[in-house]
């Protein structure tokens, strides 16, 4: 789909912006194509732009053609959903030997500082684990605030939300995730959207392998625990037996695959890949298998059956032991039965970070606050994801006894006044669950500042599930922001505000 933004919808507010989003089946509205991930081809494009505009695409060759022309070619075969174009008032800065950041001029310096030097570390770690990075360059385009995703893995040029510009590199896991798609998704691709977990489950696994190498097991397990909490929330909200809670989703004719989007392919997929690694028992051997898997299926589109057959051929002793049929853990059950994952990887290496956060949340949930005990915990040194984990625990225990959340916000301005989007989301959820009306303005401000779907929808659900004042806040916020939001997000918010049949 081609998204046309007026100047007010950009960061600079002076010039219009246009971008395309292909995944899942939106590129049929951009150019004629076989709009299925089963088909891959190369492409080239000649783009003419007005004075003062720059075009960028998901291509490995970029050439100027005269004062207004840009020529692009992608020389590797890719599925239609990975063709992407953006045109705007764009500038760039080098951040590594094969990487630049692209953004509106007012954001370029912040983008450069956030990622200078580190993207190459991520790429190098990925290459060590999964084999050569075949796409040539890896650039990152910072999108206008209404971009509905954290990141989109368009080859050679990942598109990301400007929320990643946190100032402290704390949200780099999104970049590592999109880099991981360079092998899982962009080289080896799900043949249809029912097998979306092949893209996202393997990518979550690859992301956490890179993260373990670079940041250690403790931090990575903490981040994975946050992911597991999202899966828990999702399954609680839908019921574990919901058909969307299978890895292989049945998508009926006429159903938009985007409408089936949820945490299951990501986090249950991560658990299944972790289970396959657990069966092997040796991390190095499993890493070598992942390399072999990429080599075997690169530039192809596959089904889960292709993966599993290759896995059993690669590990003949596992095949002989019939590991695909262990009662309770059958591969068929993993793929075709809804519900909580039968196997969860051990996240206890993260305990040193998680336990203090859990204990602190427990202190805040007490009817009589033990302030000396609370003040003895120095959260000043906590990293963003440790705070996120703490806030998720506070949210789970909410509503807290009257007055506690107000005090919490006062004691931790770092949390209640955060500029970091992951913290603002959690604080907003806590504010709504506890009906802390004096902070409702922060929820509105946050929703006005960006339009990421995974931040927007949970907050509208929380508002509509809250007090009358919270529902009024939802209506007021939507009236103020709907013109800026992505049309899909508008549609999903409308469903939350006025559910069918009401």
Binding site for Zn ion (CB under 5 A): 200, 203
Residue with structure tokens 């899942």?
A: 24
Applying CB under 6 A, among 88, 151, 265, 269 the residue interacting with ligand BES is: 151
Residue with structure tokens 């996202």?
A: 200
Task: Provide, rounded to whole angstroms, the least separation between the CB of residue 181 and ligand BES.
Answer: 6
Q: Tokens representing 380?
A: 């000043």
Applying CB under 6 A, among 213, 383, 454, 461 the residue interacting with ligand BES is: 454
Applying CB under 6 A, among 82, 152, 360, 361 the residue interacting with ligand BES is: 152
Task: Provide, rounded to whole angstroms, the least separation between the CB of residue 298 and Zn ion.
Answer: 18
Task: Provide, rounded to whole angstroms, the least separation between the CB of residue 178 and Zn ion.
Answer: 7
424, 387 Cβ separation under 8 angstroms: no
Task: Provide, rounded to whole angstroms, the least separation between the CB of residue 356 and Zn ion.
Answer: 30
Q: Which does 149 bind (CB under 5 to 8 A by kind): ligand BES, Zn ion, none?
A: ligand BES
Quote the distance between the C-alpha of residue 343 and its chain's center: 23
The whole-angstrom separation of Cα 233 and Cα 91 is 40
Footprint of ligand BES on residues 266-305 (CB under 6 A)?
A: 266
Nearer to ligand BES, 79 or 466 (CB): 79
CA–CA distance from 276 to each of 193, 221, 227, 297, 394 (Å)?
A: 22, 18, 19, 18, 33
How many C-beta atoms surround the C-beta of residue 288 within 10 A? 14
Nearer to ligand BES, 181 or 393 (CB): 181
Tally helices (H) and strands (E) across the chain.
20, 14
Nearer to ligand BES, 103 or 160 (CB): 160
Residue with structure tokens 């007055």?
A: 403
Indicate whether 149 belongs to the interface with ligand BES (CB under 6 A): yes
Task: Provide, rounded to whole angstroms, the least separation between the CB of residue 171 and ligand BES.
Answer: 9
Task: Please report the sign of the dihedral spanned by the C-alpha atoms of residue 491, residue 496, residue 498, residue 499.
Answer: positive
Indicate whether 23 belongs to the interface with ligand BES (CB under 6 A): yes
Task: Provide, rounded to whole angstroms, the least separation between the CB of residue 174 and ligand BES.
Answer: 4
Footprint of ligand BES on residues 187-206 (CB under 6 A)?
A: 200
Q: Which does 424 bind (CB under 5 to 8 A by kind): Zn ion, ligand BES, none?
A: none
Q: Which does 35 bind (CB under 5 to 8 A by kind): Zn ion, ligand BES, none?
A: none
- For the window 100-139, what string marks contact with ligand BES as x by the rule CB under 6 A? ----------------------------------------
Q: Which does 174 bind (CB under 5 to 8 A by kind): ligand BES, Zn ion, none?
A: ligand BES
178, 158 Cβ separation under 8 angstroms: yes
Cα R_g (the chain), whole angstroms: 23
Nearer to ligand BES, 53 or 455 (CB): 455
Task: Please report the sign of the dihedral spanned by the C-alpha atoms of residue 173, residue 174, residue 175, residue 180.
Answer: positive
Q: 439: which residues sit within 8 A by CB, 6+ positions away?
A: 409, 416, 427, 431
How many C-beta atoms surround the C-beta of residue 204 within 10 A? 25
Number of residues that bind ligand BES (CB under 6 A): 17
Q: Which does 151 bind (CB under 5 to 8 A by kind): Zn ion, ligand BES, none?
A: ligand BES
Task: Provide, rounded to whole angstroms, the least separation between the CB of residue 370 and ligand BES.
Answer: 36
63, 44 Cβ separation under 8 angstroms: no
> Which residues are part of the catalytic machinery?
178
Q: Which does 96 bind (CB under 5 to 8 A by kind): ligand BES, Zn ion, none?
A: none
Nearer to ligand BES, 157 or 361 (CB): 157
Task: Provide, rounded to whole angstroms, the least separation between the CB of residue 58 and ligand BES.
Answer: 13
Task: Provide, rounded to whole angstroms, the least separation between the CB of residue 27 and ligand BES.
Answer: 11
Nearer to ligand BES, 72 or 149 (CB): 149
Q: Which residue is nearest to ligand BES (CB)?
A: 150
Nearer to ligand BES, 82 or 95 (CB): 82
Indicate whether 258 belongs to the interface with ligand BES (CB under 6 A): yes
Q: Tokens representing 285?
A: 């051997």
Q: Which does 386 bind (CB under 5 to 8 A by kind): ligand BES, Zn ion, none?
A: none
Nearer to ligand BES, 92 or 182 (CB): 182
**Helix, coil or strand: residue 4:** strand
HSE, CB side, 13 Å, CA atoms: give it for residue 317.
3
Q: Which does 98 bind (CB under 5 to 8 A by kind): ligand BES, Zn ion, none?
A: none
The whole-angstrom separation of Cα 208 and Cα 206 is 5
DSSP string for residues in 327-386: TT--HHHHHH--SS-S-----GGGHHHHHHHHHHHHHHTSSS--HHHHHTS-GGG--HHH
Footprint of ligand BES on residues 159-188 (CB under 6 A)?
A: 173-174, 177-178, 181
The whole-angstrom separation of Cα 116 and Cα 235 is 38
Give the DSSP H or E segment for 55.
strand 54-57
Max Cα separation, the chain? 71
How many C-beta atoms surround the C-beta of residue 216 within 10 A? 12
Contact positions vs ligand BES (CB under 6 A): 23-24, 149-153, 173-174, 177-178, 181, 200, 258, 261, 266, 454
């Amino acid at each position: 789909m081609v998204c046309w933004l007026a100047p007010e919808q950009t960061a600079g507010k002076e010039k219009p912006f246009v971008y395309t989003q292909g995944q899942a089946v939106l590129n049929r509205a951009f150019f004629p194509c076989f709009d299925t991930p089963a088909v891959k081809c190369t492409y080239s494009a000649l783009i003419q732009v007005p004075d003062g505009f720059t075009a960028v695409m998901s291509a490995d060759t970029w050439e100027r053609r005269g004062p207004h022309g840009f020529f692009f070619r992608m020389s590797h075969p890719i599925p239609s959903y990975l063709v992407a174009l953006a045109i705007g008032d764009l500038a760039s800065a080098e951040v590594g030997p094969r990487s630049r950041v692209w953004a509106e001029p007012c954001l370029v310096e912040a983008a450069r500082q956030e990622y200078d030097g580190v993207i190459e570390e991520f790429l190098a770690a990925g290459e060590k684990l999964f084999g050569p990075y075949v796409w040539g360059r890896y650039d990152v385009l910072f999108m206008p605030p209404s971009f509905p995703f954290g990141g989109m893995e368009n080859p050679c040029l990942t598109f990301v939300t400007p929320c990643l510009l946190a100032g402290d590199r704390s949200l780099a896991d999104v970049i590592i995730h999109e880099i991981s798609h360079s092998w899982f998704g962009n080289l080896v691709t799900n043949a249809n959207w029912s097998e979306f977990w092949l893209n996202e489950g393997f990518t979550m696994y690859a992301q956490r392998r890179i993260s373990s190498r670079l940041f250690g097991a403790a931090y990575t397990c903490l981040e994975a625990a946050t992911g597991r909490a999202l899966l828990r929330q999702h399954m609680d909200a839908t019921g574990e037996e919901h058909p969307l809670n299978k890895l292989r989703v049945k998508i009926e004719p006429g159903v938009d695959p985007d409408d089936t989007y949820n945490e299951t392919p990501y986090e249950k997929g991560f658990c299944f890949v972790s289970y396959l690694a657990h069966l092997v028992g040796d991390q190095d051997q499993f890493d070598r298998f992942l390399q072999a898997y990429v080599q075997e299926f690169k530039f192809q589109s596959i089904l889960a059956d292709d993966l599993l057959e290759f896995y059993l051929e690669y590990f003949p002793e596992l095949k002989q032991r019939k590991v695909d049929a262990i009662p309770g853990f059958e591969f068929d059950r993993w793929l075709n039965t809804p519900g909580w994952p039968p196997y969860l990887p051990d996240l206890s290496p993260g305990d040193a970070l998680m336990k203090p956060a859990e204990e602190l949340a427990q202190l805040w949930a007490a009817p009589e606050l033990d302030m000396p005990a609370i003040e003895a915990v120095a959260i000043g040194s906590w990293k963003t994801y440790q705070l996120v984990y703490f806030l998720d625990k506070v949210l789970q225990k909410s509503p807290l006894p009257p007055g506690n959340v107000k005090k919490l916000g006062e004691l931790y301005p770092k949390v209640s006044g955060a500029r970091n989007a992951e913290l603002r989301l959690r604080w907003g959820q806590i504010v709504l669950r506890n009906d802390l009306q004096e902070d409702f303005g922060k929820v509105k401000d946050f929703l006005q500042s960006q339009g990421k779907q995974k931040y927007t929808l949970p907050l509208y659900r929380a508002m509509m599930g809250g007090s009358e004042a919270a529902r009024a806040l939802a209506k007021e916020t939507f009236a103020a922001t709907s013109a800026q939001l992505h049309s899909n997000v508008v549609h999903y918010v409308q469903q939350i505000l006025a559910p069918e049949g009401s």
